[in-house]
Amino acid sequence: MVKLTEQEIVRRENLQKILDLGINPYPAYLYNVNSTAKEIKDNYKEGSEDYDDISLAGRLMMKRVMGKASFAELQDSTGKIQIYVNRDIICPEENKDLYNKVFKKLLDIGDFIGVKGHVFTTKVGETSIHVSELTLLSKSLKPLPIVKTDAEGNIHDAFTDPELRYRQRYVDLVVNPEVREIFKKRTKLYSSMRQFFDDAGYLEVETPILQAIPGGAAAKPFITHHNSLDIPMYLRIANELYLKRLIVGGFDGVYEFSKNFRNEGMDRTHNPEFTAMEIYVAYKDYNWMMEFTEKLLEHCAMAVNGTTQATFGEHEIDFKAPYKRVTMRQAIIDFTGFDIEGKNEAEIRTAAKGMGIEVDEKMGKGKLIDEIFGEKCEGNYIDPTFIIDYPKEMSPLCKVHRKNNELTERFELMVCGKEIANAYSELNDPIDQKERFEEQLRLSEKGDEEAGQFIDYDFLRALEYGMPPTSGLGIGMDRLIMFLTNNESIQEVLFFPQMKPEN
RNA sequence: GACUCGGUAGCUCAGCCGGUAGAGCAACGGCCUUUUAAGCCGUGGGUCCUGGGUUCAAAUCCCAGCCGGGUCACCA
């Protein structure tokens, strides 16, 4: 049994005193509410009678008791509003217990209460609720952090300890309104994206999270075991191969917001479970997908922030379409002066060494090019920029470029030097796909940890039935919302980021 | 995984040239019928992350560990 703190003991005593007064601290009845703090503050005009009979519910967040009258703050899901509680108004009879005992002594900050009354403006000009009826809706037994904001808007004693904020997100959400805004924007991003896809006529689908073969990416999976089948199973690392099966099945466009799981390191931009949105559209190619992507992101940025512009750390970025398109070859020329066109593996390795990049003999041509791009180019793209035409060996699920068989029809979208989207003209040649999987398996067996370790033969069978030409796009939803809310840590945009267990 | 910074009251923090703990808010008692970081008077509250060590004496110095932040490494 954990020892209670002084304040927790006091609150439990208050709870008992409330019970002794015959008041249920956790009533079952619904409490009818007919307005919100925000609605009243936005719309109430002094003298108006429109808000003469309002009913609100929320948490008591501050009490300023002045003898027989008090001010307090009530916080509902929309914000805070001041309430005015007068002894003789809420206790018109002889018995003043509701004011003197319950309100003044036994109600604590954090308690849920319901109030009925009328709206008025105080001497100092603050829109407030003149309370005529006060009901305890739920008692709080632990003290919340007290965060105060002064007249200049400065926040005092902000609840900032990241460990406490992430472990007790519920507390963070109660006391830090800007945190609630981040998550509202996150939801707005999802709904605006969903709307964009639905308007285009594409189908939102659900595919297996628990998979026998973790395909569609190369990453270490979380492994579990199915008891009655007695087989190992994996939490998905991607949903790509399932969405393509649905394109084989005849849908024109399918998309899914996919919780993926990767058993790898954690840092400011990686959480073991994260969300990717993937969409596949039949009869399209990656050029079409680039236009679709920039229109999508422009639409989402507007929906989330009301503007296509966004601030991220020291950078100002603009999601307004169209975005620049730069081939990987040109990007490398731009930032190193080196042209990879027509060069063999040894020449590229030498050039990379000359740029001060660590290389080893195991790196193939594609990997070397990717290293050069990652080291010298990637970080320079601040405004959204499509990097196109990636080397073939890095992209086992992507169609070979129509004009150059060493490249693939692939693009990544870079923002502030980070990748937020990845798209292909999808490989739909089953024979080529089988060979690429087998090549990945060989690389994996040779010790390349980035290569796929499984061949999904059912997926190959699906391709053998025929998949139309298709373009697919994946967007890192967590990264995108980080950009749209100016948060450099993924933990700030996940309600419950992964933490080591307490104790 | 490496390096680095941090862990003191419910919260935000000070104390860290070793002498056994402080502030503001919160809490408790009192006053106050339009306050708003309300105010005034008074009071209580701490395994100083854990475990070792040095010392007459450790929140403070040393070692190990735990938890968190940051940087780097890793990352389709």
A423 within 8 A of A414, measured Cβ to Cβ? no
Per-residue model confidence (pLDDT) at position A467:
98
**10 Å Cβ neighbour count for A282?**
18
> What is the Cα–Cα distance from A476 to A413, expressed in whole angstroms?
10
With 80 as the cut, is the pLDDT of residue A416 above it? yes
Q: Which is higher by pLDDT, A394 or A384?
A: A384
Q: Which nucleotide is nearest to A175 (CA to C1')?
A: B11
A443: confidence class by pLDDT, cuts 50, 70, 90 = confident
A153-168, pLDDT tens digit by residue? 899 999 999 999 999 9
Mean pLDDT calculated for residue range A218-230: 93
Q: Which of residues 133-172 of A touch strand B (CB under 7 A)?
A: 143, 145-151, 156-164, 166
C-alpha dihedral over A313, A318, A322, A323, to 10 degrees?
A: -20
Residues 60-119 of chain A with CB under 7 A from strand B are: 62-69, 71, 82, 84, 86-88, 105, 108-109
Which range among A260-264, A372-376, A467-471 has the greatest average pLDDT?
Answer: A467-471
Asked if residue A124 has pLDDT above 90, the reply is yes
CA A24 to C1' B61, whole Å: 55
According to the model, what pLDDT value does residue A446 have? 74
Mean pLDDT of A263-277: 94
Q: Are A395 and A328 in contact (CB under 8 A)?
A: no
* Structure tokens belonging to residue A9: 């003991």
State the pLDDT at residue A450: 67
- Residues 211-240 of chain A within 7 A of strand B, judged by CB, are 216-219, 238
Question: Distance between CA A69 and CA A128 in Å, rounded?
Answer: 14
Length of chain A, in residues: 503
What are A322-350's pLDDT values in tens digits? 999 999 999 999 999 999 998 998 999 99
Q: Which SS3 state, helix, strand or coil, does residue A255 take?
A: strand
Spanning CA of A52 to C1' of B60, the rounded length in angstroms is 60
ipTM value: 0.94
Residue pair A469/A425 in contact (Cβ under 8 Å)? The answer is yes
Tokens of A448: 């390349």
Average pLDDT over residues A483-494: 96
The two beta strands, A253-261 and A273-282, are antiparallel
Given a cut of 80, is residue A447 above it in pLDDT?
no
**Assigned token pair, A456:** 């999904």
* pLDDT confidence bin for A2, thresholds 50/70/90: low
pLDDT at A209 over 70: yes
Whether the beta carbon of A446 falls within 7 A of nucleic chain B: the reply is no
Share of chain A above pLDDT 90, in %: 85
